[in-house]
Amino acid sequence: MKNLKVMLGAAVVAVALTSCKDEAKMTAEKNVDTYVVYVDSVNNLDAATKAKDWEAIQAGYEARLAEAEAALATLENEAKAKERIDDSKVKYDGVKAQAEAEAAKQKQTEAAASGNALADSLFGAGTVVGNDMTFAWVNKDNILSVYQNFYETFKTNKDSYSRQDLDKIKAWYEALDSRKNTVEKEGLTSSDNNKIAGLKLKFAPSFKWERMTAKSEENKDAKEKAN
Q: DSSP for 95-135?
A: HHHHHHHHHHHHHHHHHHHHHHHHHHHHH-TT----TT---
Domain boundary among 74, 107, 140: 107
The range of the structural domain enclosing residue 140 comes to 129-226
CB atoms within 10 A of CB 163: 13
pLDDT in tens, 114-166: 557 888 888 887 677 777 788 999 999 999 999 999 999 999 999 888 888 89
pLDDT in tens, 102-123: 777 776 666 555 557 888 888 8
Strand intervals (E) in the chain: none
Whether 148 and 210 share a structural domain: yes
pLDDT in tens, 40-63: 888 888 888 887 888 888 899 999
Domain boundary among 76, 107, 138: 107
Whether 147 and 216 share a structural domain: yes
- Residue 118 maps to a domain: no
* High-pLDDT (> 90) share of the chain, %: 29
Domain boundary among 72, 107, 142: 107
CB atoms within 10 A of CB 40: 13
CB atoms within 10 A of CB 198: 12
Residues in the chain: 227
Whether 100 and 49 share a structural domain: yes
CB atoms within 10 A of CB 209: 11
Query: Which sign, positive or negative, has the C-alpha torsion 117, 118, 119, 124?
Result: positive
pTM given for the model = 0.49
Q: Looking at the 3D structure of the chain, how many domains does it have?
A: 2
- Residue 69 maps to a domain: yes
